[in-house]
Structure 1
């Protein structure tokens, strides 16, 4: 492959795709970041690297290399459509004051948020401060921000960041077990801050409920939960198909995640249920959230079987062996009679897709595949021969990152809600975060107790039962 090498601080890429599902040779990297679909290259986002452009595809790419050099935009009908879509997503004038962000926790996900917000800089956002007690994480984030020419104020903890008064919005991307206290401190702080908190909302249902109750007293604050899988283009397309009624009344939802084991974290805090909430909370809250969306109803009871069979069994921390499960089957029954099923395996690196979703109604069936980014749609009437295969893309995505562009769209949506100044609610609110955790906790308890566990049982206090009704 012929490569042209650029040592530029910024590379802006505008791609006109040819509709092909193949990603071979069609990629470009930016300093500290990667745009494209080669998974083996994705970790370059935190390590820097030279800027590369595939010469074979220069005819398909409008590329500008260098600080402030944007090149000529192609005046096409497609670009006009994109601009109209952007205006719809941002009803208020873009000349408003810059929205200033602070990021609490700048490990892998914190840096992912930093990069996504950098790609939203033309939307009027800036990250102005970070907080993290872990010095190596601080330094990597600082190096990254310097490549963006974003000077950051650094604090050792979230209280110091809040007291600085520097930011309007706070992103919480700290270890799961810290979410509760940090959220309560933000919500109770005199100056209001809008909040995007990484999933899970908290590690226990009780902590989630306390956060929900506290936030009710601060209606001027928007809080969105980072269940960004809703925004993955094939998943979003399937949600649209379901909501349009193309499948009829939904009866069954099946979600398979076959993937690699949990990644290394600072001190590997994610190896224990007490820190993460357990695999079915930490990882699978995404899928329980999607089940609820597809089913169009709230969960009633959960039955699960799972175990620790392969991963982390040879690891020891302070004399303790990790207890997070690495595989499970989970069945969920919903109020409207529909059923959901999760098939989780975290030692399945040999899978073509990490996520496969099937939604079946009384009229038809829809499927979504990630990272293939395709959707299949068929009806009972037309049968197998007329199943459609659709390529799912979203032209708004400027950075794919670790989650196929969903984090970028998540930030775009939340920014729109912030600018709407109370007119528009966050797409994923605290209620959604609470229910997704409750479903995960119920599944974990079902494994431990060997029986169905009801959601009411998990909620366990009558005054909070209305939160899942």
Structure 2
């Protein structure tokens, strides 16, 4: 596995600063995540930043300053989205606006038919998520989602080991994240479920994406408990009190029998996350310790406790410092490497809209379980809302739809 890590890093470095003309990116939304993408694009040097758009003048100015700070040429500043999509210098569009705006922004730029990078979560509601996933099926260019956690070092190695069946058939999955509270945003939109989609959708779709990939099947039942214990209990913005959860425990049953759990705590002093996957041959453990505080470097590790495995005792798999500078402990560079490859016609494991849809479905069901205080039957809940994501193109690769006698003939309004 150490050789695998070396290969991953060497491959990324070899892809930097390619010869020939580089595609021009326009970024819609230059808040905190938009500026992280600016840094990653310019550090990777596979593309250029040709233009920026943000309705907030302060955010736009910060975006321009970030381009110039990292060494890019002064970007064009668009006054509206039509000017951005019509610009022939723009080869691809990055949507990094607040969660609740993603569908509207997509609708504003889709006529360009240019490749799109869409930040996570792709939507805040089931309706919008299904709409975007269906739209992606007919879209003539790649649409990649910003699920960068799958490219953290420990998770790239874990997914590779699982794809090689080094644990045998998977039976249980356990994920956890301990971290400080949500950071500040323009308009504090992430403190309100109506704009964020709720904590499990906004923050945790990354983990449900990983969980779904490892399980390799649709979720069928979700139970969750959680709420607000510490964070923002007295917080108000423009007179409106915050309503987001700061902790949760989620249990998911998958169609193929895999059982999974996820634990979230958002009032931890430092950052810690872990993954444990157990299969017939053994158990894989992956961990990350990190911090928002200065001068506290991150540390990642992985071990595979299967008989005779080379990584049985585990090893440090932290990315080199120059890779971590790309954002989210290096993972943002890797997702942009995927996006650049997709623009050139290469297929890879960049997150697609079907995967994003099911990450949101799983997270949304968990939020619903917390609110209702009961187990959620995923298929029944979707049917009650006249939504059918069990269709060709909307199920991630190798998944199969539930087999039920009444699915096609029911009167539940499924499309």
Q: TM tier, shorter chain?
A: 0.7 to 0.9
Are residue 141 (structure 1) and residue 66 (structure 2) matched? no
The structure, 1 or 2, with the larger RCO (C-alpha pairs under 8 Å, 6+ apart) is 2
Aligned to 1:241: 161
- What are the Cα deviations for residues 167-188 of structure 1, in whole angstroms up to 9, with x where unaligned? 111111100000011112222x
* Equivalent in 275, 285, 291 of residue 367 of structure 1: 285
Tell me the distance in 2 between the aligned counterparts of 1:88 and 1:162: 31
Please report how far the alpha carbon of residue 267 of structure 1 lies from its aligned counterpart in structure 2 after TM superposition: 1.2
Pair 1:463–1:365, CA change in 2 (3 A): closer
* Equivalent in 77, 86, 100 of residue 24 of structure 2: 100
Tell me the distance in 1 between the aligned counterparts of 2:321 and 2:99: 30
Pair 1:249–1:82, CA change in 2 (3 A): closer
Tell me the distance in 2 between the aligned counterparts of 1:375 and 1:81: 16
- Secondary structure in 1 matching 2:237: coil
Aligned to 2:103: 180
Aligned ranges 1:137-286 → 2 under 5 Å: 137-147=59-69, 148-187=71-110, 189=111, 191-218=112-139, 220-286=140-206
- Secondary structure in 2 matching 1:310: coil
Pair 1:245–1:298, CA change in 2 (3 A): same
Tell me the distance in 2 between the aligned counterparts of 1:221 and 1:192: 6
- Secondary structure in 1 matching 2:50: strand
Pair 1:164–1:175, CA change in 2 (3 A): same
Tell me the distance in 2 between the aligned counterparts of 1:364 and 1:82: 24
- Secondary structure in 2 matching 1:409: helix
Tell me the distance in 2 between the aligned counterparts of 1:397 and 1:241: 25
Pair 1:173–1:458, CA change in 2 (3 A): farther
Aligned ranges 1:24-423 → 2 under 5 Å: 85=11, 94-121=18-45, 123=46, 125-147=47-69, 148-187=71-110, 189=111, 191-218=112-139, 220-349=140-269, 351=270, 353-371=271-289, 372-379=299-306, 381=307, 387-393=312-318, 398-419=323-344, 421=345, 423=346
- Secondary structure in 2 matching 1:388: coil
Please report how far the alpha carbon of residue 370 of structure 1 lies from its aligned counterpart in structure 2 after TM superposition: 1.3
Tell me the distance in 1 between the aligned counterparts of 2:324 and 2:49: 17
Tell me the distance in 2 between the aligned counterparts of 1:408 and 1:116: 5
Tell me the distance in 1 between the aligned counterparts of 2:68 and 2:168: 51
Tell me the distance in 2 between the aligned counterparts of 1:167 and 1:271: 33
- What are the Cα deviations for residues 227-273 of structure 1, in whole angstroms up to 9, with x where unaligned? 11000001111111111111111111111100000000001011110
Please say which structure displays the higher CA radius of gyration. 1
Please report how far the alpha carbon of residue 138 of structure 1 lies from its aligned counterpart in structure 2 after TM superposition: 1.1
Pair 1:267–1:363, CA change in 2 (3 A): same
Tell me the distance in 1 between the aligned counterparts of 2:239 and 2:10: 58
The Cα RMSD (Å) is 2.7
Tell me the distance in 1 between the aligned counterparts of 2:136 and 2:129: 11
- Secondary structure in 2 matching 1:230: helix
Tell me the distance in 2 between the aligned counterparts of 1:382 and 1:118: 42
Are residue 449 (structure 1) and residue 372 (structure 2) matched? yes
Please report how far the alpha carbon of residue 84 of structure 1 lies from its aligned counterpart in structure 2 after TM superposition: 7.3
Would you identify which runs of 4 or more consecutive aligned residues in structure 1 move more than 6 Å?
Answer: 80-84, 87-90
Are residue 464 (structure 1) and residue 384 (structure 2) matched? no
8 Å Cα contact 1:414-1:426 kept in structure 2: no
Q: For structure 1, which runs of at least 5 residues remain unmatched after alignment?
A: 1-18, 20-79
Tell me the distance in 2 between the aligned counterparts of 1:297 and 1:205: 19
Pair 1:87–1:346, CA change in 2 (3 A): closer
- Secondary structure in 2 matching 1:248: coil
Please report how far the alpha carbon of residue 374 of structure 1 lies from its aligned counterpart in structure 2 after TM superposition: 0.5
Tell me the distance in 2 between the aligned counterparts of 1:445 and 1:451: 9
Tell me the distance in 1 between the aligned counterparts of 2:106 and 2:323: 29
8 Å Cα contact 1:119-1:398 kept in structure 2: no
Aligned residue pairs: how many? 379
Tell me the distance in 1 between the aligned counterparts of 2:276 and 2:37: 29
Please report how far the alpha carbon of residue 462 of structure 1 lies from its aligned counterpart in structure 2 after TM superposition: 5.5
- What are the Cα deviations for residues 73-126 of structure 1, in whole angstroms up to 9, with x where unaligned? xxxxxxx97897359969xx94342211000000010000001111122x3x10
- Secondary structure in 2 matching 1:405: helix
Pair 1:382–1:95, CA change in 2 (3 A): closer
Tell me the distance in 2 between the aligned counterparts of 1:377 and 1:366: 4
Normalized against structure 2, the TM-score is what?
0.85
